Each structure stands twice: as structure tokens, then as C-alpha cells.
Structure 1
């Protein structure tokens, strides 16, 4: 990711953090840089450097839920609490430490459905968690703060977000809320070397309607290359099919809008986000529900 300002700043922060805590930054591997910069150190510790403005208020609950899940034997990543009292703040960046999970092979949507069924059957933990009431709130804020969106597109987005938020409010609340992962996408499921799967990236953990965790897989067929067979396997293993839910179409539109938020936030400093924002927004304005979107630069 040479030349990527987000990655370059994250490397500087990583070196400073490693100096502060007596760890080695040499040989570190950058695993991801989007809403977080995620590094794996040679000592098998994962360092997550958050960029979201609400990270300091949100991450204590994320860590608490991860510990609570660990006590119950749920297959989730574990905080590396032996490093430091977490989270830590370095020059305005919020940092957490996690144990690395060596991955071997790609998990299946069938496995994702099973692990989400298990998650949604757990009680809500005794942790102060956000209530998932406004899925597009962060996107709305990003639109208002954006330095790259033309005025006419800001207006279109604001109006569309308001419309979708009203529709969302009218279709939720029929069922008791559950513990949500918040970003239950197949890429956040890791297969360990022993074959078992582990759910990672709990930054979006919340209490809310289970449909929000489910829509990610269906949206993966719409935008990111999953097949109908992938979705059918997911629905069968979860035990119900979201496509039969009356609010399915609206929820898919909400998820579409949600998925441009990260690129609005990063477009000014990340060339890929700038291009991907244009791709996604153009397809939304055209009403194209089948245009392919990308997680990384297409080959």
C-alpha cells in the first residue's frame, strides 16, 4: 500500500505504539486499512488502530463483549489484555490489542449461518451497548462533513438517507432485539488451522434486530460476488430465509446506502475509496441494483 496516506500514517502510529509497549514493529504485516488499520506483529499480536471519531466511546464495550463471549466459549477473537489496560490512546488514535488467529482456508456461508444462529440465541450481555436504531446515522454525518462530494450529490444523498431512515423505522420492532455482531460479513469469519471457525471484527457490536446481521450475506450476492447457492446455504444453516421477510427489499436498499459510508469518510485520503465511492454512488443514483462493487481494487 505504498503511497496510501492512510497506511503511511498507520505505520507511524504502529511504530510509536510498539516503542511505548516494548514490542517490535519490524516484520509487522499490514492486514487491512479501511475503518481500522490492522497489523499483525511477529509475536502474534494484532494491533488495531481505529480511525472512527467515536472509537474511544465505543471500543470499551467491544472489548467487554469479547471477554464475555470468551467466558461462554463462543468462537470469537480474544483481546490481548496482557499487553495493556485497553483501549489505549496515542495522539488521538485509539488502539486495541488482540490475539492473532492463524487462518487456514476460506470459511463458508453455511458456517457463517450456524455461528450467527448461535450468537442470536445468546442473552444480551450485561454491557452498556448501543441500540441499533439508526443504521444510516454515520453515513448522514459523513455526507455532511464530506470535502469530496459535489453539492448536488450531497443533496441527493441527504434526501435518500432521510427517506430510507423513515422506512427503516417503520419496519423494525416486531421481534425482541438480539446481540448483533454488526458487520457479519463472510470475510469476518476466520477458519483456524484446526478447522474451527472464529468470528472477528466486533467493532459494530450492538443490540438490535437480527435482520441487520443477516442482510450482509444477501447483499454479498447483490454486490460482491456471492452466488445464490451461497445465500441458500446461509439461510438453511441459520434456520430462516430473510428473503421471505416483508421488509427485505427496503433493508437491502438501506444496506446499499450503508456500504458507501466508509468510502465517503476515506475518499479524501485514499485513492481506492475515491474511485469506489464514485462507482457505488453512480449505481445508486441510476437505480442499478446489480452493479458489482469491490472490497479492493479489481484486477
Structure 2
């Protein structure tokens, strides 16, 4: 998604909802967009209308709040459709920072203990929207797409027979430090709830373990995380397939925002090359 598209969609949605958007500022751009409206104290999420889960995301936030799980609160009870996009408005926590890994582990453990609801959440689908993401990826040639499809097919077969130690639970779905905020008043809040689903808790633990392998965390930070949660996903029999699926998804995510960004395009090429020669995630940088 391009930054100007996200700004235009949010400005239109906010204006229609009576929310000031004159100072709209991009926070993050990828497949989706996150835009801050400082004067209104609102954070807006922009997603393509096709396959949007924005309405369910708002319902999930309300349900998790009732389950005493710390989450961000919607600023408007309904999403707003703007052309080909859907905009949802959320409270902005101006004094917040990403949680440390121990806090993330503790909050994930709390989330994973919630009773699984009926008729609210989908089951985890690791390859959901794969073809859409591949088609939208910048800097991918025919051979890249063929390789990534082949890797997807290989991993899909392995996923079907993977063994999980921790059973099933309610998952965040995209659990990393920046999706759990901590305020100066010690409030914690999960954000980006569109991927909340039912599945093996190992899925929520994999990103932190993979980021450690990328060199983004120290050994002590990762050990503290695993100890705080009470399980090291790298010891799971499913770790090899979880690890590769996450790297595939991270590569496709980067492809969504690599257009007109030489540094991101170089990193995208590096990720594909290292997936090919099986040296990934050596040299992977974060965005």
C-alpha cells in the first residue's frame, strides 16, 4: 500500500465520521497502513476491502476486553468503507512504547489461557492470501514467484502433519513487541488484532524465536522470554516448519512495501536468495 493512498482513505473516513484528520501522519506502511491522527487522539488502520477483517477485529477487541485480556479499544464501533479500502479507528496511546520480551511472554501466556469461544474466531491458516500477496509483491520475477510457490507447497504439506506440544488456544496471530504496547501508567495493550485466531500457541512464540535467530535480540533476552512463557518453541518438533513459514511470510510482507525503496528491494532480494540456498535468516534486517 502506498502512503498517499493510506492518507487519502483515512482523511476521507475520518472527515465523514466527524474526526479531525488535518494532521494525519503515516506510522507504518506495508500490506496495510497505519495512520496517526494526533489532534483527535486516534490511530487509523487501513486495509484492502477484499477479505477485510476489520469488523471482526473490533468485535474481537470487545470480547477480549471482557475476558480481561489487555487490548487497545476501538474509537468507533464500526469500520468505514472508502472505495476499495476499509478504515477502522482506534484509541491512540501517546505515551506508549513496545513491550519488553518478558512482558510479551507474560501477556501471551495470559491470552493463551482464555477459553476458546464459539463462532467468533477462525482457525489459523498460515498460507491465507498467499496468492494475493504474491501478486502484489514488488521486485518479484517469474522465477521468484515459482520458487515461493514451490516453498509454500512444501511447507503446506509439512504443516498438515506437524506435531504441536501445547494444544490449541486463542492466538494473537502476529505476536511481537511492537504489537503489545506499554504506557507510562503501566497499562499494557495488544494492538493489530486482525489476525487473532485459534491454533497452536507455538505460532505466537515463533516470531520472537526467529527474530533472535536474525540477531535482533540477545541470547539473554530470548532466554528470559522463553522462561517467562514457560516453553522454548525451538525445542518443539514443529519448529522447523514454523520457522520456514514465518520466513516465507516475512519475505512476502517485505515485498508489499519494496516498490520505490531501493534498500527494501535489496533486502527482499537477499531474503529470497538465502531462502534458496538455505542460509536464511543470515543477514536479514528488520523493517
TM-score (norm 1): 0.87
Cα distance change, pair 224–230 in 1 and its aligned pair in 2 (3 A): same
Match among 8, 19, 33 for residue 12 of structure 1: 8
Describe the shift of the 1:217–1:175 C-alpha distance in structure 2 as closer, same or farther (beyond 3 A): closer
Deviation at 1:272, TM superposition (A): 5.5
2:19 alignment partner, SS class: coil
Alignment equivalent of 2:101, drawn from 94, 106, 109: 109
Q: Cα deviations across residues 55-97 of structure 1 (Å, max 9, x unaligned)?
A: 1xx222211110011123321111113xxx4122111110101
Q: How far is 1:255 from its partner?
A: 1.2
Q: What count of residue pairs does the alignment treat as equivalent?
A: 286
Gaps of 5+ in 1: none
| Of 174, 183, 206, the match for 2:197 | 206
**Shift in CA distance, 76/272, structure 1 to aligned 2, threshold 3 Å:** farther
- Tell me, in whole angstroms, the C-alpha distance in 2 between the residues paired with 1:36 and 1:141: 13
8 Å Cα contact 1:68-1:125 kept in structure 2: no
Contact 2:43 2:90 in 1 (8 A): yes
Task: Decide whether the 8 Å contact of 1:188 with 1:200 is kept in 2.
Answer: yes
Q: 2:56 matched to which residue of 1?
A: 61
> What are the Cα deviations for residues 89-138 of structure 1, in whole angstroms up to 9, with x where unaligned?
11111010111123344421111000000000001134432211x31243
In 2, Cα distance between the equivalents of 1:218 and 1:151? 31
Map 1:120-269; keep pairs closer than 5 Å: 120-132=112-124, 134-143=125-134, 148-172=139-163, 176-223=167-214, 225-268=216-259
C-alpha separation in 2, matches of 1:111 and 1:137: 29
Deviates further, 211-220 or 254-263 = 254-263
CA 1:88 to 1:270, structure 2 compared with 1: closer, same or farther past 3 Å?
farther
2:73 aligns to what? 78
Indicate the RMSD between aligned Cα atoms, in angstroms: 2.2
CA contact (8 A) 2:7 2:24 kept: no
Shift of 1:11: 1.5
1:173-222 per-residue CA deviation (whole Å, 9 max, x = no partner) reads 66542111000011111111112322111111111111110101001112
Name the SS for the 1:94 alignment partner: strand
Give 1:21 deviation, angstroms. Answer: 1.6
Structure 1 distance, partners of 2:58, 2:262, is 31
1:19-98 aligned at under 5 Å gives the runs 19-41=15-37, 42-51=39-48, 53-55=50-52, 58-81=53-76, 85-98=77-90
